[in-house]
A and B are shown apart, each in its own frame.
Chain A
Amino acid sequence: VKQIAIYGKGGIGKSSTASNMAAACADEGYKVTIIGCDPKSDSSITLLRGQRIPTVMELLQQGVDITELDVVFEGYKGVQCVEVGGPEPGIGCAGRGIIVAIKMLQKISSVMADSDLVIYDVPGDIVCGGFAAPIRKGLVKETYVLTSGEYMPLFAANNICKGFARLGTDLHGVICNSRNAQNEEDIVAAFAKELGSEMITFIPRDPIVQTCERAGFSVIEKEPDSEIAKVYRKLARTVMERDTACEPRPLTDKRLRELTE
């Protein structure tokens, strides 16, 4: 089983990338599971035609004796979808939610073990211990960082790499999700290289992604013949085949600023 997580600054496109990768892998016949760890619980929505599924934490709160059937839902081409869920912004502790939900899933569900690819879609920065739970509990074996060529997303990506270094987790690659910044491909490629890794894919900015998401679909499902779909398919193949990793060497803030000047 290939177990991966995609990290990156909030709003940078982790869920879009994760769900399109999941769909692309499913198209190629792989058994895929996607585990949304964001309390917003929208990681799997485009694999489920815009529908929201009950989350592990909300069922736990209701006192449901949770079985696999209650929390694992089949989406596009058999992709198994799970949402951890969590509290409304500003209350409770979303990080603890991830710890609890992941322990529970390990106990009650076999989908993670039965898949070829498990994707953990983890929220923004790793701001507390809970957000690192998938890694620390040994569930994530490969980590990818998603960023654009702008300073703030790169800063966040760099910080996340500091977290990986702290946790002793290798970085398997950097993915650029373009926001049409100047020299974006070069900047992200240089950033990845200086981390000791490489940029494995450059995803150009394409309004089709937004259009499909609004309609509740992945690009792979709704616009399978588009150019951007081809990029996601290529990314999916790259990730499935990839077995090189590095211990990331985070950049100094000064160097990050230089890169983006």
Chain B
Amino acid sequence: VLNVSDNQEEIVLSPVLKPKEPMIMHPRPSSIVAALYTLRDLSVDVVILHGPPGCSFKHARLLEEDGLRVVTTALDEAGFVFGGHDKLVYVLNKVIEMFNPRSIGIVGTCASMIIGEELHEAVLEVNPDVPVIEVEVHAGYPNNTKGVIITLESALAAGILSEQEFQRQKVLLQEATEVEKRHGAASKEYLEPSRGDMKYTVAKRIIQLLKDGKKGITILNAKKETGYMFADINAAVNFAAEQIGSGSELVNMANLDKELGLKRVRTHALNIASDLEDMGVTVHEIIGGLDEYPVVGDTVSKLISDKYPDFDFAVITGVPHAIPMDCLKGMEIISVTNGPRQVLPLKEMGHDHVIVEIDLHPKTLGVSHIVESEFGATLREMVKEETA
């Protein structure tokens, strides 16, 4: 601290500049939406979005399919000018009366946060006898993981999350942010969306590899509920190998640890694992929990170098860009993503074939069993024709 009283000279500053983040022009995931999904993962019953009626509409609607009730205070021009406190109090009272929730989330929006709405004041006024998680969030953060962290901090404060789980989640989120910056949708100023390679062509290639008796690894590295559809692809590859029956060795890895993560996430792991078992798929290696998709890289690397160094091809589904390229050297890589903006970065990493399962996420909300994927269906159909 500079003491100006003893020093008449100009104050000289040498501020530490943050490492420059590239400005990203394509639309980015919203921190408000991230907060909504996190509240769902925390099994909150009702969420009040404090803001304009249309804010986060698409996701709010989808989350209702997943059992989360979402309502809005529907702030209008008058609300922006005169404040939305009374509306929030009204809606909070109303949801308690209508839904008798066991827990409530209140999520900020750009509009309510800019005008300085204090979510806590409404909670104090209503004084509900169930926990309320107040999330002061807007969509102005470059990384949507910020929305998750703010939500988890509030959940911690509300006593519905343990300190230990909070710290674990924080590490995962920081890593998830890094994964996106390295090889994900945050890696470039602008990424052109793409539908990736033709499913037909890639299915044909997999069939050929299996016919040639090549040794393959399938890796399911899915983010939470998206696993319900990505796992179908891993299962389809297994189905193909079995039908072709040329003795190709297939090893399955999956982030389906049933003991890790929030209860909801553990349930997904359990459901998917038991479906895979029913489909006759053996998961040889558990590489982490369904929320550990950004950190499985080291485990996968070690497994491959220790046990499967001479494999010929890999089919990676979910978050393929979190798997380091070093451990996949010499393998033909087929990856499946649900992000049209993930195609280019995956190709640049050196993946040979990249498939997009478009609109995968909405189809995995509100389900408790594996959902058929387009690529899985294509592959199965082609194998049937092949072996008929």
Which residues of A are interface residues toward B (Cβ below 8 A)? Answer: 48-49, 51, 53-54, 59, 62-70, 72-78, 80, 93, 95-96, 99, 128-130, 132-133, 136-137
Contacts and interface: CB of A to CB of B under 8 A. Distances in A.
A59 B17 CA distance: 9
A115 to B, nearest CB: 13
B4 A129 contact: no
Contacts of A69: 1
B298 interface: no
Contact of A49 (B4, B16, B20, B117): B4
12 contacts: A48-B4, A49-B5, A51-B11, A63-B17, A63-B18, A65-B16, A72-B1, A74-B2, A74-B4, A77-B5, A99-B116, A136-B116
B10 A51 contact: yes
B118 interface: yes
Contacts, number: 72
A70 B116 contact: no
Contacts of B157: none
A67 B4 CA distance: 19
B18 A65 contact: yes
A48 B1 CA distance: 13
Contacts of A62: 15, 17
Bin chain B's interface residue count: 20 to 34
Given A59-B15, A66-B15, A96-B116, 13 more contacts: A49-B5, A51-B4, A53-B11, A54-B13, A54-B15, A69-B1, A70-B15, A74-B1, A75-B5, A77-B5, A95-B116, A130-B115, A133-B116
Nearest to A80: B1
Contacts of B11: 51, 53-54, 73
Contact of B13 (A70, A74, A75): A70
Contacts of A129: 83, 115-118
Interface string B354-384: 0000000000000000000000000000000
Contacts of A67: 16
A73 B117 contact: no
A63 B20 contact: yes
The 9 closest A-B pairs by CB, nearest first: A129-B116, A64-B15, A65-B18, A130-B116, A136-B118, A129-B115, A74-B3, A74-B1, A48-B4
A21 to B, nearest CB: 18
Contacts of A132: 116
Contacts of A54: 11, 13, 15
Contacts of A136: 116, 118, 121
B8 interface: yes
Contacts of B17: 62-65
A73 B2 contact: yes
A73 B115 CA distance: 29
Nearest to B112: A129
Nearest to A138: B120
B50 to A, nearest CB: 12
A95 B13 CA distance: 26
B114 interface: yes
A68 B1 CA distance: 8
Contacts of A128: 115-116
Contacts of A137: 118
A91 to B, nearest CB: 14
Nearest to B125: A168
Contacts of B16: 64-65, 67, 70
Contacts of A93: 114
Interface string B273-285: 0000000000000
A65 B8 CA distance: 27
B4 A64 contact: no
A62 B121 CA distance: 33
Contacts of B116: 95-96, 99, 128-130, 132-133, 136
